[in-house]
């Protein structure tokens, strides 16, 4: 029964609950409703998110109905998953702005079809006080407090607010509202997925099958990808920057990225593993990896072009060919170095800028700047600014 489909859908999954859940749902012999929920708290997706999106793509290719639930309602509560403190709720405007950018990226891998994208304010926003109380009555406080993040906060004597418990209930209700057969997400969402199964059962529905996908380590090889840490490969990164970031990953992550970010089939992955064990230069395998992933998120051939640029810049010590030039108005000077690189768009926030400066990742005409209080005067000549290994801008003098 559906042997090939089952093998492909199971490949790369971290955990499936129940273990035979995919077989059980396919036995229904109808297109399944496969759910992915996400709060638009950060508008830029990265390869960590893509691990889940690629699995959704497989379901879609087999004719199943993927529903991407944008948590515009739950984002205004704040997801406490994996956090040791209360997350600041977002405003409705922030949520909508982020969701728009989110969708532009999702449809680069998922085929857009009618009804694929839903906002959970459609159903959660219609709940009155009585409805919410009835839903809350389906859960015990003890059950909610089993969450690791709540347990950790209690141990550390950090506050837990009642509205955070509502998040679990509201997200579980999403699965009821869309009649989800399967829910997919990262391992950090397992508690929420189990809560949804419980609520579906309580409301007379067949509980959804849970599929959790591994959390991809960031380019530093230490912890999961995070914009706040700066170890991401973003889906909107230009080809050259994406390629360069992938070449910077530690060698021990090559097979992990090949499996989860490049969606490499098992037999091909085994060949890469054997090659590395036989002494093939990891750099050569990494070049193939960077090519594959860059092509996936841009277009065929983008990886080859980026590889040539990478080899020119990093192997032959040449500057990139496409360095942008920018100019600031005279009244902008003098300007703090963190403000400068943020204004030029070389980082996303002043906090990231300060982190990069302190780590020695910022240079002005090859002079390393490590003082976050450094001030840049109006240049008399053009200045080459370098941030990290791949970001260059030529600041034009007046």
Helix (H) or strand (E) holding 200: helix 190-202
User: Where are any strands of DSSP class E within 89-134?
Assistant: 117-119
Sketch the domain layout of the chain as residue ranges. 3-213, 239-315, 324-395
Backbone φ, ψ for residue 84 (5° rounding): -105, 10
| Residue in 183, 264, 182, 187 with CA at minimum distance from that of residue 14 | 187
User: Full-prediction pTM beyond 0.75?
Assistant: no
Assigned fold of 324-395:
3.10.290
Each residue's pLDDT tens digit, 204-222: 999 999 999 998 999 988 8
CATH fold of 3-213: Rossmann fold (3.40.50)
Report the 3 state secondary structure along 307-353.
HHHHHHHHHCCCCCCCCEEECCCHHHCCEEHHHHHHHCCCCCCHHHH
Q: Is 221 in contact with 249 (CB distance < 8 Å)?
A: yes
How many residues does this entry show for the chain?
398
pLDDT tens per residue, range 50-59: 899 889 999 9
Contact present, 360 and 372 (Cβ < 8 Å) = no
DSSP string, 55-86: HHHHHHHTT-EEEEEE-TTGGGT---TT-SSP
d(CA 214, CA 234): 18
Judged against a pLDDT cut of 50, whether residue 85 lies above it is answered with no
Positive or negative, the Cα torsion across 34, 196, 200, 161?
Answer: negative
DSSP-assigned letter for residue 46: B
Question: Comparing C-alpha atoms, which of 82, 329, 337 is closest to residue 223?
Answer: 82
222 token code pair:
């230490």
pLDDT for res 78: 60
DSSP state of 28: T
Taking the chain, what is the end-to-end CA distance rounded to the nearest angstrom?
71
Residue 65 near residue 31, CB atoms below 8 Å: yes
Q: Is the pLDDT of residue 395 over 70?
A: yes
- What pLDDT was estimated at residue 203? 93
Question: DSSP label at 14?
Answer: S
The per-residue pLDDT for range 107-138, each reduced to its tens digit, is 778 888 888 888 899 999 899 999 989 998 99
């Amino acid at each position: 029964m559906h042997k090939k489909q089952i093998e492909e859908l199971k490949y790369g999954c971290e955990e499936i609950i129940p273990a035979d859940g995919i077989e059980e749902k396919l036995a229904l012999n109808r297109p399944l409703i496969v759910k992915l929920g996400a709060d638009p708290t950060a508008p830029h997706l990265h390869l960590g998110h893509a691990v889940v999106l690629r699995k959704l793509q497989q379901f879609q290719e087999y004719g199943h109905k993927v529903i991407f639930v944008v948590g515009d309602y739950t984002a205004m509560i704040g997801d406490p998953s994996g956090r040791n403190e209360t997350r600041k709720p977002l405003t409705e405007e922030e949520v909508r702005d982020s969701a728009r950018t989110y969708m532009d990226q999702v449809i680069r891998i998922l085929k857009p079809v009618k009804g694929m994208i839903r906002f959970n304010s459609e159903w959660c926003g219609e709940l009155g006080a009585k409805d919410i109380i009835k839903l809350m009555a389906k859960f015990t406080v003890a059950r909610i407090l089993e969450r690791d993040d709540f347990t950790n906060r209690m141990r550390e004597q950090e506050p837990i607010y009642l509205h955070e418990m509502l998040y679990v209930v509201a997200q579980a209700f999403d699965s009821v509202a869309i009649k989800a057969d399967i829910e997919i997400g990262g391992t950090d969402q397992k508690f929420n997925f189990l809560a949804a199964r419980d609520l579906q059962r309580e409301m007379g529905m067949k509980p959804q099958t849970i599929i959790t996908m591994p959390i991809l380590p960031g380019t530093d090889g230490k912890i999961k990808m995070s914009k706040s840490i700066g170890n991401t490969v973003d889906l909107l990164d230009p080809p050259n920057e994406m390629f360069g970031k992938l070449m910077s990953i530690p060698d021990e992550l090559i097979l992990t990225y090949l499996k989860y970010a490049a969606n490499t089939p098992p037999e091909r992955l085994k060949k890469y593993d054997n090659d590395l064990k036989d002494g093939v230069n990891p750099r050569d395998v990494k070049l193939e990896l960077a090519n594959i992933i860059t092509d996936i998120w841009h277009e065929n051939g983008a990886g080859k072009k980026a590889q040539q640029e990478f080899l020119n810049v990093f192997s032959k010590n040449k500057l990139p060919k496409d360095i942008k030039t920018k100019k600031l108005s005279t009244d902008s000077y003098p300007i703090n170095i963190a403000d400068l690189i943020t204004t030029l768009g070389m980082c996303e926030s002043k906090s990231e800028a300060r982190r990069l400066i302190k780590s020695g990742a910022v240079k002005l005409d090859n002079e390393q700047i490590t003082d976050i209080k450094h001030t840049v005067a109006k240049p008399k000549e053009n200045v080459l600014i370098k941030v990290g290994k791949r970001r260059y801008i030529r600041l034009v003098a007046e």
